Chain A
Amino acid sequence: MEKREETCTELFQFGEESEFQSLMSVVPPPETGNSFTALLELPPNQAVMLLHSPEETAPDNFTSPEFLETPNSILPNSSPNNFSLVKQEPVDSDSVHNSSPNMSDPVISKSTKRKERGKNVKSAAKKSKSVANETDGDKLPYVHVRARRGQATDSHSIAERARREKINARMKLLQELVPGCSKITGTAMVLDEIINHVQSLQRQVESGSLMDGNGNFTGMVSPPLSNQIWQPDGLTPQPLWGVEEMNPNFITPENSLLSYDSSRSSVSLHTNQLKMEL
């Protein structure tokens, strides 16, 4: 679980989204891909490994070395920009499929299209896709998606299918991130879990800020730590009782804010108020 989370966050680490987009718009498109959808099913672990070993990829496509360079160059600067998850998936899976090196481009150009345009232009994009399917794919930055066997060849349904698969790929990543979600099947339940997780995290932040701010509260409400499956690093999830005023050597300016004036008599009243609020 930890490792998977790690790989997830490693995924997040790379890439300025804007840089990717600018790169991707330059990319010439490739031929069709049956493996288009297979790309998206690539698990993040593999994707990260591929990202780490860019030398293995054949630079057939002249942009692929650029691709592979930018992740490495971005790496040291990635500190505040840890999360640019989505672009990673297509890029990483690109480097896998050297046999069809041009595969990278439809995914990327497609995701670029999706990001930069929006639902308004979607119909135009679909039309361009159906047109481009017939033309030679080398010059135009259009997506070439071939319908799989036994499925509708309508351009609309192809686009919908591609969109659905992208969403499913992201949902899989979410599933790995949120604890306890990997066993659940079905989007609705997973979303439920995610919502619960976000809510509990927000509640924890609330109570955490309360803990930080309070003083000699022995009757303090304990934060809802019991419902978390994810353990914070090296911390024991015990409620903190009786936090007195801070050590002046610790962080001096925070003294006035974080120390509680214990002479206040309305302590019990406040606890009730806080309980209501939480």
Chain B
Amino acid sequence: MLQCIFLLSDSGEVLLEKQLTGHRVDRAICDWLWDQILTQGESLKLVPVIASPTHYLFQVVREGITFLACTQVEMPPLMAIEFLCRVADVLSNYLDGLNEDVIKDNFVIVYELLDEMIDNGFPLTTEPNILREMLAPPNIVSKVLSIVTGSTSNVSNTLPGATASCVPWRKTDLKHATNEVYVDLVEEMDATINRDGNLVKCEIYGEVQVNSNLSGLPDLTLSFANPSIFNDVSFHPCVRLRPWEANQILSFVPPDGQFTLMSYRVMKLKSTPIYSIDNIAVQFRLPPCVASSDLSSNYGAVNVLVDKTCSWTIGRMPKDKAPSMSGTLVLETGMERLHVFPTFQVGFRIMGVALSGLKIDKLDLKNPLSRPHKGFRALTRGGEFQVRS
């Protein structure tokens, strides 16, 4: 079980510590970790499990903040990692993003959240909807109020009813003036094009995101026109697994608000007509042996950073010409030719299209109080879209 959680800034400063069990962890462990990062390089930040001389460390880095957890005994490492990710998600959601300042500014809420999310090293309440009911997120109203009256409490006085219900992810007595539910297909295209220009891999990773604002206890069923295209799936806990096993139908009582109902992977792609691609951007890193560079493009903006990261923002594809980038690279002295080549990371966005070809058949609502407003959207982005050179 976890013994302690630290939040570290990107410069290694301990923003806060939360001891979880009787076996206290000294914050010197953070110094140890930071020394290791300094000597072994930043890549250590990407190692999720580290055995230090005294503790096993788990770390997840999000937007520059390191979430560090320590234990001294055997426990499932993924449990720690998933939990840290969940903490990062919840905090980021509460605080509108993560950075050093926002955590310092709201350290009390962070403490209160951590205290509710984990008890004695074992996760207690991690469901975002329930947390929101127990601890109000900071917002301008409460802030103004706190200035005017000098006091408000973000701690709820009552236990959310959902903790007792059989659908713990949902508030019990919800009332919405407008009954509406939106389903978005958000897909990411992963592709690898090798040095010979051949397509090595092309697949879609997608998520079905639902935004539900429904009163009462709605029971939804969502079915797809072509569920057979799914290669892999995983579901939000609200999805009942039996109907899926039997008929590949998603039957669920949704949490309130935005959540990811399922994620999936489609590996065999059918050609889908594409109308407009925008937000095109190419990113790559110049090889270390390049001493200097002078790159320019006939369309869009090129930007080279100090760490040799180069980004080329194209935006929407122009009709009249093919965008191209050219320039000179100066190699370090002694090098005759470039023998290592970067990989280009391509980003883009296609609105209105799910490239996997996935189609939603229908969304039904059992026990509706009034006919809800339903909406569907689709979007495809570049995921791990890589072109090797």
Q: Do A and B bind each other?
A: no
Q: Which residues of B contact A (CB under 8 A)?
A: none
